[in-house]
Each structure stands twice: as C-alpha cells, then as structure tokens.
Structure 1
Amino acid sequence: MLLKKLSFVFIPILFTVLFNINFSSRKQTNDYQDIQDFKQIIDNNINVFKNEIDLLNSDALVFQNDIKSISELQSQLLKTRKAYKKVEYILEYFYPEHIKAYINGAPLAHVDPNPVKEEYNVKSYYTATPKEYGKNMPLDYRDKNHFRGEAKVLLPVGLQVLDELIFSDDIANEKEAILNLTKQLETDFFAVESAIKKRQYLEDFEIIEASRLELIRIFTLGITGYDTPGSLNAIEEASTSLEALQEVLNPLLLKSDSSNRKRVHALFEEAIIYLKKNTDFNTFDRLTFLTQSINPLYEKLLDVQKGLSIPSSAEKYKNLASWNASSTNLFSDDFLNPYYYSLLTEDDDNSTLRQLGKTLFYDENMSSSGTMSCVSCHKPELAFTDGRPKSMASIDGKTLLRNSPTLINAVFSDRYFYDLRAYDLEEQAEHVIENHLEFNTNFSEIVKKINEDETYLNLFKKAFNNEDEEITRYQFSSALSSYVLSLQSFNSLFDQFVLRKTSKLSKKVKRGFNLFMGKANCATCHFAPTFSGLVPPLYRENESEVLGILKTPDVLEVDADLGRIDNNIPLDNYNIYKNSFKTTTIRNAKLTAPYFHNGAYNTLEQVIDFYNQGGAVGMGLSYEVTNQTLPPDKLDLSKREIEDLIAFIESLTDNPF
C-alpha cells in the first residue's frame, strides 16, 4: 500500500528535480520553443511572487512600528496571494508537500512533517547542516530520516494563516506574529524558488496536467473559501488562477486544432468575465460556475491533450494514480481510481471475486459466535449503515464504541474508521475480525473454517484458479475487499444534473448546493465530489476534525470519546487530535441517520443547527474543547437556508444496492 501511495500524479519530477536533463532526443523545434515559453512564463511569475513576499515582509515590519495602516497591509497581502495564484498550479504540481507545510497550508496546528534534530549541527554526506539542507531543498525531496528528530506539533505558517490574522478583528495584537510569519515565508519559499528555476525543461504533459488539477483546486478549495479563511477573497483569486492557466497553456493551444483552441479560449474568457461580474462570496453561483466553466474547461483541456497525443504522467511512467487524468467531469464515476486505495489490483479483480466477497460479507459463520456478519452493522437498504446510534455487539446487551458509517464510496479513503486507525481496507477488516465485541476471532481461525468448507473451497478455486492449494488470508482479504470496493455510486439526482444527464434540479437544491459550497462553510471540510474529508485535488489524504460533538444535542456536555488521539498510532498521539474524528461523506445522509460518531443526532436539522451555532466552542464550551478545528463563528443560517441545505444533501441520495 505504501508503494501505491508514493505513486503520485507528479512522479515524473523525481527524474528532474534539481538536475538538468539532456533532452537531445527532441526533434521538433516547436516542442523546444514550447518548453522555453513555459519556463519564461513561470520564471517571470515566480519572480513576481518573490517580490510580493519581500514587499509583504517590509510592510509587516513598518506595520509593527505603526507606520503602515491595517488597510495597506491587507492590500499587500491580497497582492501577494494573487501573485501566488499565478504560480500555484505549477508549485502544487511539483512540490505539494512543501506548499502545504510552509507556503499555503491550512491555518491549523499540525505534526511536523519533517522533524529535524536541531542539535545535530554538523555536515554530512549532504555537505550541509540540517538547517542548510532544509533551506535548500523542497520538503518533497528531502531524505526525511537523515536528520530526523522527535516529532512535534507546529503552529501553522504561510499564506492562509496570514490571511486569517491580517483580516481578523484582533490584528492589532498580532503584529509580532505577522512579522514572524512573513519572515518565515521568505525563508520557506527559497527552496521551491531555487528548485523551479533549476529546471531547464517543463514538459507538455506536466503543464496540461497541472492545469487540469488547478481547475479541480479552484472549484474545491478556492471558491469555497478554504484557501482564504480571513479575507474571503476567493472569487477574485479564482479569476487570477484562470488567467495564469490561460497564459501558460497558450503555447500548447497554438499547436492544437482551431476548434479546440477557440473553444478553450472562449471558455476561459467567459469564466473570467463571470468571476469578475459576480464577486460577492455569499451570493456567487457556484453551480453555474461548475457546469458552465469548470467542467467544460476540464473536459476540453483533455481533448487538447488527446489531440496533441500528450500522455498523462500515469501513462508515461506506468504509475497508479489516485486521480484519473482521463476523466472528463469532476463528478464522473471514474474521477478517482478505487484501486489506488486498496491492496487489490485492478488486474486481479473480477466479478467472480466480487461475488465471493459478497458471500463472505453476509456469512455469520465468519464470527466466533456464528451470529454476526458484516451485514449486521452494514445493511444495504440503509446505505450500509444500521440505523442505530451505536452498532450492536456480538455480546447481548452491549454496543460498539461508535456509530456505523456507510460503506458506499468508503473505498475512497487513505485511512479508515472514525479514529483513522486503519490504513487500507484489508487492515480495516482485521480490526473488525479481532475485536472481541465484533467477530472475536482472527484470520487463522477464519481461514481454517474456509479450508474445511467444501462450498468455499470450490468458490475460492473458481475465483483464484486454485487446484490443491489451501486458501490463504490474502485471498480472503482480496475477496472481501473486492466487494467493499464495488460499493461505489456517483449517480444521485445532483450527479446526473452536473453530468448533463438531466436538466431537472429544483431551485431549493441549487440554492442548497451554493450554500454548502459557500456561506455555510460545509465544503471546506466535506470536499467535492466525494463530499468527505478526502483532500483535493489529488485525494490522497483524509482529514479529521475536532467539532466538539455533544453527548446529546440538547445538553451542553461534550462527548467523552477521545477519537484519533486514542487510536494507538504514535504520530496521532498529540493533543491536537483529542476528540478528532474522520470527516465522513454526506452522500446518502438521508438514509444513514443517526449522525456523528456517537449517533446522538437523529435528524439533519439537528446536525445543521450544531454547525450553525459554531460547534461546542460557539456554544460557550471553549474551556472543554481547547483544540476545536471547526470555526466557532455562528453561521447565521435562516430557516429557509437550512431547508435548502437539507434539500441539497438529500439530492445526493443514490443507493443502488
């Protein structure tokens, strides 16, 4: 699984980072000219961004000395962020770890992604001290074990936290923090600035792939406000991002056929005009922007790529990617690759194996008591939940610790369970099998039972072409994973509308979607199109959140479940993960009540009311929940807005099982 998760979409850069590669095999002069054009455009915009960072640092210094006004500092931050948006697509493509950690990551405390033993201040075979090494190489390409020290929690740095502080009501008390952050931004940008400028060549496939990923980022992280927690300058920044893509793609478009070229230019112009005419964050029509701009551009750029015979990085380097570069719509059922998230490979999967997995899923004999199967807690008619606050245990009168989540689209995750304690579907099954309140057995016992069952011997022989070989744990896990992996559905009424399969969608649902993606702040945690915590645009990492869930909706008492901090994974054993739980999908929520990890909220009205009040901290429980990641600000949603939100959530119902 680890090897799969290292097969990133941007893997080809491993061959070029910080090195000059000889492309003497290039035959076409116009290809070489494209590369030079790409590099000149990107280098120019990198220089602009660097200059704006320097100006921001200078303004922060004079602001500290009361020479610059708040509005002047805010104006400079907006300029700096716009300059970043001109290069975001390429920096995020090549250096996503570095950008997330130091340049534009979420403004939340986090575990250090590269803990360095500072006292080890001697040069090594890298001919550098830890400080020098870290300053000169992007995080994505560091040997993170060479200078490794004890992991620790870091306060956030970068543009997002600056946006939050500089546009906060308490900015007067944050002068020193702002200055320190702008200084740190200068330092942290140096590594990626150096790396991108050392690249002699930028390939066609890198540019078009980075551009299509940026379209996903604009829609899922940009216009939702995720990226601009303080200023909410999301719409203007989206316009800047599109202008940058239009500029860098022009050398490719000039080689494309005239119909594709004209259509792409027209789509860019229409999208930018639309953004500039509709600048209000709360009233911006995100559904129209998705259907008339983002999805058409996403599809048409793929047409350009195919027309020019440009491979994807996955095709070029035979990598297994999470995001499917051949998808044509952000809501298509092949947008993500389910096999990226499982040990099971696509070549080994088939309908026979899937049917065997389904048989195992329903078989109560897999548990030691002979009374519990997977379907005991995951009933198909309830979108594979069980309708209980907490699932029933195999022991009479007892329940499990938490509510049963849906299995539909559950494969699209890098970690499983509410506390994220399992890293793949196969490990997830092991936890259920060995839990004394669930199957209360182990793989050895299950495999022994199967090998003594003539019916199963025949089924496994058919699925794996076994002759006289014994059935193995791997085969059992593969069959079960195949079935769970097959529980996918992106065919709700809302999906059909976005995919242009129907033109019918009520005004309530449309308003609800726009609220979800904007004012109501839902999409900053429940990312489209999975509407879960799987983070776009590469969808490789699951987020968890501290919401301050109450024991019951009508009692101001925080639920006692510690969540992620108590999952026995050392890197999660930090206070920032106390009461932190996986952000699960809201797809099929109409069928999956009751809600949250404790199953204490019976209706969607209760859930939305909880968010509307700003979680536990918004309700006055800041002493009890010191690390809430949900913004405590009240959303001030009206009764009609709540009804619209529920209408949208219910439009995501599509249980075909």
Structure 2
Amino acid sequence: MNFKLSFPIVFFVIAIWFWNQNGISKSDYSENNFRHIITTQAKTLAKEIDKLNTIAISYQNKCVTVEQLRNQLKKTRLSFKKAECILEYYYPKHIKSYINGPPLNHLDPYPIGEEHNSDTHYYRLTPEEIKKSQPLDYLETDHYRGAPKVVTPVGLQVLDEMIFDDDINADDVLKLTSDLKDNYVILVKTLEMRNYFYDHEIMEATRLELVRIFSMGITGFDTPGSQNAMEEAAVSLEGIQEVLQPLLLKLPIAEQEELKKQFQNAIAYLNKNKDFNRFDRFTFITSHVNPLYKALLQMQVSLQIKSTSEISRETTSWNAYSVSIFAEDFLNPYYYTILKKSEDSEALQELGKQLFYDTSLSDSGKMSCASCHNPDKAFSDGVPKSLSNIEGKNVKRNSPSLVNSVFSDRFFYDLRAQDLEEQAGHVIENHMEFNTNFPELVKKIKNNPDYQQPFEKAFGKKDITRYRLSAALASYVASLRSFNSIFDQYARGELKGIPSQIKQGFNLFMGKAGCATCHFAPTFTGLVPPLFHENESEVLGVLAKPNTFDVDEDLGRIENGFTEDNEEIYRKSFKTMTVRNVKLTAPYFHNGAYNTLNEVVDFYNKGGAAGLGLTYEVPNQTLPPDKLKLSKKEIAALIAFMESLTDNPVSKFKNQ
C-alpha cells in the first residue's frame, strides 16, 4: 500500500516532533480554552478604553462631570487588572512604555531619528507606522533609532494620578486616552494572531502576577492618585482564577475546591479591607499570597508542567520552583552574572574569597576589597566615604553592602557597571582604590606561589587571565546572599507571633510611608518586580547634611559615562539600594551624611528636597514631595521593621 502525505500533514508531524524534542507535547497547552478566556479579557479592556476616550471627549466639552470621568477610569483600570497577568507576561516592555508605566519622564524606548521621519522604504511603512505595527517587545528597535530623548509618561498610571488630582487638564486627559487607545489596539491583534498559549506560560504568568500584586499592587505603586489598590488587587486575583480555569479542571475535584477556596478567601479579604493606610499587608502575604503562590507550584508539579527554564534552557531571573516570595532561592544569581552556574564551584568561590581579602593586589599593598566591605558591617565599612589608597583622602561615595548585591542589572550608585565582573574592573583600575590594571594583577598572581594551588583547583591547568580573576571575584560576591532574616522567617511562616511593632512597621513600609514603591519586596531594592530585569534609580534631593538646606552636589547617574544616561532626568539620580541589613550599614545614602535611621526616615517624612521647598535646586525629584505625616510611634515601628531584615552575615561570610 502506498501512502502520500500532504504538506499540512507533513508540517503537523514535524511540529509534533519539534514539540517533543523541546520538552513540549500536545498536552502542554489547552489552546481553545485559554484563547477564549484571554481574548475575551483583552477585548473587554479594549471596550473600556474606548469608553474612557469617549468620556474624555465629553469631559473636554463639559458634558460630563469629573466623577463620571473618574468612574470610567476606575472601570478601565479594573478591566486592565483582570487581563494584567497575561498582558504583562507576553508584552512587558509595551505595557510599561505605553499602557501602564510609572508617571515619570523617561527615555523613549524607540527614539526615531529625524532623518527617518519621512522614510517609507522599509516594508512600505513609515517609521511611525512600523512602531505601531507590533508590540514593542517584538520590534527590532535598532531600525530608524535616533539619539536618546526624554519623553513624558503615558498610560493608566499617569491618568490615575492626573484624573484624581484637584486640578485636571481636560486637553491632557483627552490626549492620554487617545494615545492609550492607539497603543493598545496592537496588543489585541497580536493576541488574536498568537498560535499557542502553553500551559507552562500560563502557570508562570499567574504566579508572577501574585508577585506583582504583592510587591506593586497593594503598595499603591499602580494607583498614585486613586489609591484604589485593594479593589484592583482583588480583580487581578479574579483574572488569575479565570485564566487558570482550563488547568484547574485537570486537577482532582478536592484540589480544585481547595484552590477555589483559597482564591475566594484572598479576594474576600481584599474586598473587606479596602482602607489603604489600615490594610494589613503582613496578614495578606502570610495568609493569602504566599499560600496561593505555593499552591500554584503544587498544581504545576501535580500536572507535570515544566518551567520555561527547563523547556528553553534559559537562565531566568526568577526561580519557578520557589515555594515562597521570601524563599532564599526565589531569585537566581546566575541571571545577573556572566558566570554560569555550571562554571561556578566551591573552589572558585574560595579563590574569589582569597582575592577579596588580599591587600597585596593593590598598588599600595595596603588595600583589599574588604577594606571597604567589612563582613562585620554586612560588607560595608561604617564611614561616610571610604578611605582611598592616598593617605588623608576619601573616595567619592559611601560603600554599600555587598550582601545580595548580585541581584542587580547594573552596579554602583551611578549604575556605571553592567555586571559584577565589570564592577571589579572599575575598582581595580580606579586610581583612588587599587590603582593598578589587570595585566599587572595577573603578573602578581602568577608570581605568587600562594595562588598556584587555589587557581589550579578552580580552573585546572588553564592560564591565569583577567577574565578568570573576574569570574572568581564574581563567584565570591555572588555567594554573599541571604534571605533568612527574622522577618523572612516570619513571612515564610517558620516563626509565629511576629512582634506587633515589626508588623506595624512592615505595613507602613508597604503602605502609608510609600517606601515599597521604590524599595520593592522581597529584595527591598530598586530591582523591579516581578521580572526583576532592571534596576531603578531615584532623584531624592539628598542633603549635604541632615536638617540643612544644602543639597548634595554629587551629580550621580548623569555622569556615569553612558550616552543614554546623559540626560537631565538623571541629574542627582542614584541607584535604589537595599534596606536589608541597614542596622549594620550606617551611615546612609551615597554621601554617607546621615548617621542614623531616624535621620533617614525624617528626610523622607519631610518629602526630600522638594518637600523642603528646594525644587529649584532639584527640579526633577522623583520622590513625591508630599509630607508623609508619620508619627514618632510610626517612625519607631518603621525602623524596627527595617532592623528585622538583619541577617547577621558575619557567621556565614567572614574570612577565617
């Protein structure tokens, strides 16, 4: 018998083979069910955006009230929250840039050069048409790219801040809603054209949304004007439950009912406790978000759904098998280093440790990495600005902690290094620090018999090179990580009965005090959740000394040497460092001018430089200038919480 396979059948057979070769089988997606739910959510949002634009037109014509405008914005935002987990998972760049990014001036993600504005030779489209042809995540943004330029923010967060302000500009509202409508259309089209929604993608999108709800939603990051955070978080949970339905139906009935109950309880808690300042965020994370996060992992394991990192063999920033948002393995350090996990070893860490504490490597023979990063002080040094190798001189800035510092996409206060390996190079070559270079360093180590055995143990018989030295230092610094403070243990449920002052302080940090809108949980740094791919920097208007009216003169990020950072929005902008281990790392800020946490909190409580009336000196402050009105009792609680994030790193990391 002769068989002839048509092209579609051959293609189908090849596709099945491809899925199996990549760890994906036909059972790994629930195509029709996912598609219906996702496209329904997306289309519903499109309708609400259209209504918002229509209301904005009517508001400009004075045909509707401000309350009607606010109500429609609220409906639109809730519709976005229902679809958020999928939209943010597949199109995070587009969402941040055009749909729901923070209300701050920023660099244009796709600046088109003036010389290209009239070009039509590429696919017969103009550059502007190309820009709107696909989501930003899929565009080849080097086409027609011009010089960096700063643009004003657009999207739902900006509208939330604007429409809930006392002074509303109708023209601006209309422009923003029209832009929102134009920028959203492409997402609906792209979702409709998408071939597959895989089970592992849905699982990860929903678990990451839980991280987003906790670290950004209930903190007020998304709702700077309305503070409608709890209702939006409840709708986000409803959206997760909807999208998961095809997978939930694959579970045994008892497991389905238990998960359904957990979702219902979390949603009910949010709907019952809507007061932004009084909301108990600690109870929410420990009783609802973390249990749901763990339950969805158990669901994934039960359904034998692999992770993206397993299927694509990618190194991801987030560990899809972590059981808690505060788990020690929640983030993957090897995403942030050139060093791969397969290349790392205990021997390499030990070599890095030896290099870290070796004063002979510096030109003066008196300075080591530990000179500015003392393990007794969580790898900071306890002085305002670290001592240099020149007697009587100090380096430019304060020395930050190295514990958990690996979890960054850029390093130093001014973000001038892009990885740990490059960071080491800056220190080695700085004339105020090691004052040497890699050729000299390699020569010294080759001539030092104390390094022969450790180097061979780490690399075998391979030659000593700058890249291997950098890898060893990166390995050691990457090992200086810990998420096992008293607070972490409370958050994971390992310790019971959290002291009321620490609980109050956490709730203030995540709510009224606004700390968590810059120091994002769980790292409590500027590493932006839930993808943890980028670091934020902020313009705070730090003073030369507390309780003065003299703004510190350090220009920060604008002078880091990157062309794209040479913009006014980055003048006096500094990386948002961690508040973990702050009990051990005084003095504070980049200039080390603040000796106590009370002084630091007082600075924020007054609204930074702008809150003190210094807007001329710091015109681009990103810290809200509004006074926080924290009482002495609240300040004490806030400090108690921050001090509960102490990990006692000496016992784990100190050189013996």
Could you say which TM-score interval applies, normalised by the shorter chain? over 0.9
In the alignment, what sits opposite 1:108? 104
Match of 1:488 among 481, 492, 509: 481
Q: Structure 1: state its 5+ residue gaps.
A: 1-19
For 2:312 and 2:430, the matched residues in 1 are separated by 41
1:628 and 2:625 aligned = no
Match of 2:558 among 565, 568, 571: 565
In the alignment, what sits opposite 2:653? none
Q: How many residues align?
A: 634
For 1:300 and 1:487, the matched residues in 2 are separated by 30
Q: Which amino acid aligns with 1:147?
A: Y
Match of 1:135 among 122, 128, 132: 132
1:385 and 1:407 in contact (8 A); partners too: yes
1:639 and 2:632 aligned = yes
SS of equivalent residue, structure 2 residue 603: helix
For 2:80 and 2:98, the matched residues in 1 are separated by 13
Q: Post-superposition shift, 1:32? A: 9.1
The alignment-based identity, stated in percent, is: 56
1:170 and 2:163 aligned = no
Matches within 5 A, 1:549-588: 549-588=542-581
In the alignment, what sits opposite 1:14? none
SS of equivalent residue, structure 1 residue 98: helix
Q: 1:21 to 1:581 in 2, by over 3 A?
A: farther
Q: Post-superposition shift, 1:68? A: 1.1
- The more displaced of 456-465 and 514-523 is 456-465
Q: 1:369 to 1:310 in 2, by over 3 A?
A: same
1:276 and 2:271 aligned = yes
Q: For 1:474-532, what per-residue CA distance to the aligned partner results, in whole angstroms no more than 9, with x for missing partners? A: 11111111110100011110001111211132000000000000000000000001000
For 2:25 and 2:590, the matched residues in 1 are separated by 59
Match of 1:535 among 524, 528, 531: 528
Matches within 5 A, 1:259-274: 259-274=254-269
Q: 1:32 to 1:571 in 2, by over 3 A?
A: closer
Match of 2:432 among 428, 437, 444: 437
Q: For 1:43-73, what per-residue CA distance to the aligned partner results, in whole angstroms no more than 9, with x for missing partners? A: 1111110011111111111111211111110
Q: Post-superposition shift, 1:119? A: 4.5
Q: For 1:171-190, what per-residue CA distance to the aligned partner results, in whole angstroms no more than 9, with x for missing partners? A: 1xx11111100010011112
Q: Post-superposition shift, 1:290? A: 0.3
In the alignment, what sits opposite 2:506? 513
Q: Structure 2: state its 5+ residue gaps.
A: 1-11, 651-656
Matches within 5 A, 1:318-397: 318-397=313-392
1:489 and 1:655 in contact (8 A); partners too: no
Q: Post-superposition shift, 1:248? A: 1.2
Q: For 1:265-324, what per-residue CA distance to the aligned partner results, in whole angstroms no more than 9, with x for missing partners? A: 111000001011001111011111101111111111111111111111111110000011
2:16 and 2:25 in contact (8 A); partners too: no
Matches within 5 A, 1:414-429: 414-429=409-424
Q: Post-superposition shift, 1:146? A: 1.3
1:218 and 1:241 in contact (8 A); partners too: yes
SS of equivalent residue, structure 1 residue 86: helix
For 1:29 and 1:396, the matched residues in 2 are separated by 66
Q: Post-superposition shift, 1:553? A: 0.4
For 2:122 and 2:180, the matched residues in 1 are separated by 28
SS of equivalent residue, structure 2 residue 341: coil
TM-score after normalising by structure 1 = 0.94
For 2:25 and 2:437, the matched residues in 1 are separated by 63
Matches within 5 A, 1:394-473: 394-466=389-461, 469-473=462-466
In the alignment, what sits opposite 1:97? 93
For 1:412 and 1:235, the matched residues in 2 are separated by 29
For 1:464 and 1:516, the matched residues in 2 are separated by 45
For 2:204 and 2:285, the matched residues in 1 are separated by 19
Match of 1:593 among 569, 586, 603: 586
Matches within 5 A, 1:57-206: 57-120=53-116, 121-171=118-168, 174-206=169-201
Q: For 1:571-628, what per-residue CA distance to the aligned partner results, in whole angstroms no more than 9, with x for missing partners? A: 1000000000000000000000000000000110110010001000001101111000
Q: For 1:111-168, what per-residue CA distance to the aligned partner results, in whole angstroms no more than 9, with x for missing partners? A: 1111113542233343321121111211011111111112210000000001000001
Q: Which amino acid aligns with 2:128?
A: K
1:253 and 2:248 aligned = yes
For 2:91 and 2:551, the matched residues in 1 are separated by 39
In the alignment, what sits opposite 1:239? 234
1:136 and 1:190 in contact (8 A); partners too: no
In the alignment, what sits opposite 1:11? none
- The more displaced of 266-275 and 454-463 is 454-463
In the alignment, what sits opposite 1:208? 203
For 1:401 and 1:32, the matched residues in 2 are separated by 54
Q: For 1:406-425, what per-residue CA distance to the aligned partner results, in whole angstroms no more than 9, with x for missing partners? A: 00000000000000000000
Q: Post-superposition shift, 1:29? A: 12
For 1:446 and 1:308, the matched residues in 2 are separated by 53
For 2:114 and 2:52, the matched residues in 1 are separated by 29
Q: 1:51 to 1:399 in 2, by over 3 A?
A: same
In the alignment, what sits opposite 1:37? 33
2:29 and 2:199 in contact (8 A); partners too: no
Q: Post-superposition shift, 1:453? A: 1.0
Q: For 1:387-443, what per-residue CA distance to the aligned partner results, in whole angstroms no more than 9, with x for missing partners? A: 000000100110010000000000000000000000000100111011111000001
For 2:104 and 2:605, the matched residues in 1 are separated by 21
SS of equivalent residue, structure 1 residue 147: coil
Across the aligned residues of Structure 1 and Structure 2, the Cα RMSD in angstroms comes to 1.7
SS of equivalent residue, structure 1 residue 126: coil
Q: 1:22 to 1:579 in 2, by over 3 A?
A: farther
2:28 and 2:305 in contact (8 A); partners too: no
2:555 and 2:573 in contact (8 A); partners too: yes
Q: For 1:71-92, what per-residue CA distance to the aligned partner results, in whole angstroms no more than 9, with x for missing partners? A: 1101000000001011111111
Q: For 1:94-118, what per-residue CA distance to the aligned partner results, in whole angstroms no more than 9, with x for missing partners? A: 1100000000000000011111135
For 1:33 and 1:398, the matched residues in 2 are separated by 63
1:457 and 1:471 in contact (8 A); partners too: no
In the alignment, what sits opposite 1:50? 46
1:116 and 1:149 in contact (8 A); partners too: yes
SS of equivalent residue, structure 1 residue 545: strand
Q: Post-superposition shift, 1:655? A: 2.3
For 2:92 and 2:522, the matched residues in 1 are separated by 20
Q: For 1:620-648, what per-residue CA distance to the aligned partner results, in whole angstroms no more than 9, with x for missing partners? A: 10111100000000111011100100010
Q: Which amino acid aligns with 2:452?
A: L
Matches within 5 A, 1:642-657: 642-657=635-650
TM-score after normalising by structure 2 = 0.95
Q: Which amino acid aligns with 2:88?
A: E
In the alignment, what sits opposite 1:13? none
Q: Which amino acid aligns with 2:628?
A: L
Q: Which amino acid aligns with 2:235?
A: T
For 2:198 and 2:120, the matched residues in 1 are separated by 35
SS of equivalent residue, structure 2 residue 549: strand
